[in-house]
Amino acid sequence: MLDAMRLFPSEPAARRVAAKLYDTVRDLPILSPHGHTDPSWFAKDEAFPDPAALFIQPDHYIFRMLYSQGISLESLGIPQAGAKGDEKQSAADPREVWRIFAKSYYLFRGTPTRLWFDYSLSTLFGLTERLNPNNADEYYDVISRKLQTPEFRPRALFEKFKIEVLSTTDSPLDTLEYHKAIRESGWKGRVLPTFRPDAVIDAEYAGFTENIEKLGAISGENVGTFKGYLNALRKRRAFFKSYGATATDHGHLTAMTADLDPGAAESLYQRILSGRSTAEEQQLFQAQMLTEMAGMSVEDGLTMQLHPGSIRNHNKQVYERFGRDKGADIPSATEYVRNLRPLLSKYGNEAGFIFILFTLDESTFSRELAPLAGHYPALRLGPPWWFHDSPEGMMRFRETATETAGFYNTVGFNDDTRAFLSIPSRHDVARRIDCAFLGRLVTEHRLDEDEAFEVIKDLTVNLVKKAYKL
């Protein structure tokens, strides 16, 4: 299934250069500074239960495609949301879920999911024939047997994948008990938390008022005032840093920022707390809080990430039955230049502050993001994200951003995944596409070959370490 020259240019000279570059980075350690894997996997180090639970149920790239073709989420074993926001376990038979997936595998032709999945089957399980209904049961059995062996426990796979560091994404209310357990276990794997405060910043977030109360309780601060609320957030950030966190992450709908005077900020906060705020006030509060979070990053050194532009839970029926993050988040047009000006006017020139911007709106790379990152010392461009985490998306990013921002205002690659076994395959795709782009620049005499060898190592390792302070 895997051709050694996959994703390299078809032009022979560029292909040869790309292959030489790839040979120098193919076995370098993986740095995964932004993702959504479950820290309990590494704390407990228990065997993954079955192939469906490993590959299908945590991966919205997979089940959203199947759902788009009329396959129910219930039949795929996706847990339904309980009355209190918890999950009700599915009764679906894992083997039958796998059979449904195998029968529908043709749906993934031409997608990055196909690349990732074939890579995992081949390199991890030695399964080199394309998945289909006829071999589905055999593949299920082979994978199931291997998952019960010590070599396929989470920590062993972490080491097999040559992961140097892996960051999770965590609520500000999280006790970080699993990170604590990892630290106390004596295992040397580096799994770090990331501070994601959406639950106490977005007034539309389920249980928002209760979340604010919990924030006050665990921080010992009076969150009835804006000052106390900000102090509570500072304390939680410090708590995350004590467990190794190097970054924060913010998933707002827009990139809007604001810089209100203290009195106006307090008044707005009281409206938010009252539960009677308007949609416009809620958006302004999020805008103000992005600027506040930037100020805190200037204080404590945490790298700040902004992932705007996703209309979350677009499918109301799916959200009500299955909850968040079930493949129904849809990209929206995003504006950065005007929206970020208040924050950048205040903090964009600060030495040591790193602010990484992502987008789901590719039209902004050449028009807005690359010019902004090519000027402000604080700004860096995150890699193609989510729907654009694909060979074509990665190449479009390099082509549209490099001419203005260069390579060194970007931060390498991060996989942003919940599907643990897809991590090495995603990084392999990113390395190959970067090699392909550099190979073309060399053969077009736009970059010397010795420079290309330096750049590919920087894109693979060095820029990630620098941006995320690893």
Kindly list the structural domains of the chain, giving each domain's residue range(s) and its CATH number in brackets, ordered by start.
12-48+154-467 (3.20.20.140), 49-152 (1.10.2020.10)
DSSP string computed for 236-304 = HHHHHHHTT--EEEE--SS-------HHHHHHHHHHHHHT---HHHHHHHHHHHHHHHHHHHHHH--EE
For residue 83, the model assigns a pLDDT of 55
The tokens of 195 are what?
């501070």
Residue type, 132: N
CB 433 within 8 Å of CB 394: yes
pTM of the model: 0.95
Decide if 321 contacts 327 (C-beta within 8 A): no
Per-residue pLDDT of the chain (470 residues; tens, 9 = 90+): 799 999 999 999 999 999 999 999 999 999 999 999 999 999 999 999 999 999 999 898 999 999 999 999 999 999 998 655 566 777 899 999 999 999 999 999 999 999 999 999 999 999 999 999 999 999 999 999 999 999 999 999 999 999 999 999 999 999 999 999 999 999 999 999 999 999 999 999 989 999 999 999 999 999 999 999 999 999 999 999 999 999 999 999 999 999 999 999 999 999 999 999 999 999 999 999 999 999 999 999 999 999 999 998 999 999 899 988 888 899 999 999 999 999 999 999 999 999 999 999 999 999 999 999 999 999 999 999 999 999 999 999 999 999 999 999 999 999 999 899 999 999 999 999 999 999 999 999 999 999 999 999 999 999 999 999 99
Q: For residues 251 and 307, give the distance between their C-alpha atoms in angstroms, rounded to a whole number.
A: 5
pLDDT of residue 88: 72
Residues 255-292 have pLDDT tens digits of 999 999 999 999 999 999 999 999 999 999 999 999 99
Closest to 115 in 3D by CA, of 399, 391, 377:
391
Six-digit token string for 328: 């129904």
Residues 6+ apart with CB under 8 A from 427: 30, 32, 413, 415
Q: Can you tell me the distance from the alpha carbon of 301 to that of 417, in angstroms, rounded to the nearest whole number?
A: 25
CA distance 263 to 157: 52
* pLDDT given at position 85: 56
Residues with Cβ within 8 Å of 344's Cβ and at least 6 positions away in sequence, in order, are: 257, 372, 376, 378, 379
